[in-house]
């Protein structure tokens, strides 16, 4: 059977695959810092050359920012669009790294061998996991079982300013039957997973104005409206005593989790106690009646991310400040509408203002809906079974507490459902010093992608 031969090839060529990964990890493709613009181009060139080495028709496509890499390999099966990003986060603070972040090392740890270096997990290691699976397939069979378009971005870590225009201008070329996204992780060690829903995001910011100028608290303390006290009262009204958001209409579009999905989540190996105690909590503090996992994956939130006003310097300055400020975000689930929700939150604040208080809102903040995948499509169950076969335990459909806008862009711009499969671990220290990618994740991830390609082709 050709799949068995492909898996054997992956096993035999693991050292060479690690060498190729460490080669691309040495390129400091930090997208947010203009000083590394040429290195981002170097990384794009490296990927174009590597894709061409496995028979892809690959090109570097210039944008107003960093280049995109697009490659195509024909195949008999369905057309898959594979997305990853080659840019990486800055390495600061450098003194907390145990080795040069762009001199990747193979290290033995109590958890097994790891590849240490910036981008090892996010996202070069994940990206190359798929490319290496394709390489093995081509080497053994001479072709891929599916038609594949590779789409690698160079600005994911700096806000993706060129992504939407590029996708709009090249929508026909990027169209496919299904998108595959590797920029994600396993739900827990040894438990393969497919993210089936991602929370959306709404951002807002407001300033609460009181007196015309800062006032002497001896002259106006008492009769004067204090914006800090006023904003504290309003913020406290956002939630009731059970942790439920008290904004009218906030839960419109929120759906219960199906029983079968809940069963998979409960069997995912997620340890609530470890999740909480690792950051100093003794219990969850969100909506009562929901587990920490359900709160993280399937319930919406309203969080205060910043709150400030008045004197911030050393010592004391006895003033009633003229302004108080608040930054907030909401994580969205289901069919929640970010534009409608923004209006409800703003009405909630404005209806509670005291006389002589007024509010102004930031007008340059975005919102995006949750991404909910259609797991009724046969491909999702085929991929889940392929992952189960490789890892010798049931793969699970999971949620994600964070937001990955690319899945929404694929749906809105290209009309594509996305399948998110990754092999990163929660302790990979992405965006942090000493980032790593487990060699097991790389090895079994390659084998997993080979199985998924084979399953989707059938």
Q: Summarize pLDDT for 315-363 with one digit per residue, the tens.
A: 999 999 999 999 999 999 999 999 999 999 999 999 999 999 999 999 8
Instruction: Indicate the pLDDT class of residue 24, thresholds 50, 70 and 90.
Output: very high
Q: What is the mean pLDDT of residues 96-106?
A: 97
Reported pTM: 0.87
Strands 79-85, 178-181: pairing is parallel
List of residues 6+ apart from 324 with CB closer than 8 A: 207, 208, 210, 227, 228, 230, 231, 307, 308, 309, 310
- Out of 3.30.360.10, 3.40.50.2300, 3.40.630.10, 3.40.1710.10, the CATH code matching 2-198+370-457 is 3.40.630.10
The answer, yes or no, to whether residue 403 has pLDDT greater than 80, is no
CATH code matching the domain that covers 200-254+300-368, chosen among 3.80.10.10, 3.30.70.360, 3.30.300.100, 3.40.50.300? 3.30.70.360
**Closest listed residue to residue 76, CA positions, set 18, 137, 155, 11:** 137
User: Residue 177: is its pLDDT beyond 90?
Assistant: yes
Q: Residue ranges of the domains in the chain?
A: 2-198+370-457, 200-254+300-368
pLDDT, tens digit, 9 for 90 and up, residues 380-391 = 999 999 999 999
Is residue 342 classed exposed, middle or buried when 0-12, 13-18 and 19+ CB atoms within 10 A define those classes? middle
CA pair distance 264, 375, nearest whole angstrom: 13
């Amino acid at each position: 059977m050709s799949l068995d031969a492909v898996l054997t090839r992956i096993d035999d060529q693991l050292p060479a695959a690690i060498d190729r990964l460490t080669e691309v990890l040495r390129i400091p493709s930090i997208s947010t810092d203009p000083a590394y613009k040429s290195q981002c181009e170097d990384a794009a060139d490296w990927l174009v050359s590597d894709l061409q080495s496995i028979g892809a028709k690959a090109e570097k496509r210039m944008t107003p920012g960093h280049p995109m890499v697009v490659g195509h390999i024909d195949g008999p099966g369905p057309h898959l669009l594979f997305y990853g990003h080659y840019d990486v986060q800055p390495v600061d603070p450098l003194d907390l790294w145990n080795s040069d972040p762009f001199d990747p090392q193979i290290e033995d740890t109590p958890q097994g061998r790891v590849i240490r270096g910036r981008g090892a997990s996010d996202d070069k290691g994940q990206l190359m996991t798929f490319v290496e699976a394709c390489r093995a397939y081509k080497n053994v069979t001479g072709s891929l079982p599916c038609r594949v378009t590779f789409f690698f971005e160079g600005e994911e870590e700096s806000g993706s300013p060129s992504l939407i225009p590029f996708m709009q201008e090249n929508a026909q070329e990027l169209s496919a039957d299904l998108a595959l996204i590797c920029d994600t992780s396993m739900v827990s060690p040894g438990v393969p997973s497919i993210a089936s829903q991602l929370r959306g995001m709404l951002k807002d910011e407001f300033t609460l104005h009181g007196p015309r100028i800062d006032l002497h608290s001896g002259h106006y303390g008492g009769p004067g409206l204090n914006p800090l006290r006023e904003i504290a009262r309003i913020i406290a009204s956002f939630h009731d005593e059970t942790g439920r958001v008290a904004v009218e209409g906030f839960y419109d579009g929120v759906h219960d989790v199906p029983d079968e999905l809940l069963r998979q989540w409960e069997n995912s190996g997620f340890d609530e106690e470890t999740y909480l105690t690792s950051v100093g909590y003794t219990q969850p503090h969100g909506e009562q009646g929901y587990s920490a996992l359900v709160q993280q994956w399937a319930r919406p939130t309203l969080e205060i991310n910043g709150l400030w006003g008045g004197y911030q310097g050393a010592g004391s300055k006895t003033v009633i400040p003229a302004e108080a400020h608040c930054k907030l975000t909401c994580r969205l689930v289901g069919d929640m509408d970010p534009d409608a929700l923004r209006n409800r939150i703003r009405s909630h604040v404005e209806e509670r203002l005291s006389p002589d208080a007024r509010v102004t809102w930031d007008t340059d903040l975005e919102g995006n809906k949750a991404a909910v995948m259609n797991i009724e499509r046969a491909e999702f169950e085929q991929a889940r079974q392929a992952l189960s076969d490789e890892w010798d335990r049931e793969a699970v459909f999971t949620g994600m507490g964070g937001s990955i806008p690319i899945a929404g862009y694929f749906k809105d711009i290209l009309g594509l459902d996305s399948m998110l499969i990754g092999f990163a671990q929660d302790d990979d220290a992405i965006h942090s010093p000493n980032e790593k990618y487990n060699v097991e994740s790389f090895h079994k991830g390659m084998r997993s992608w080979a199985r998924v390609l084979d399953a989707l082709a059938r």
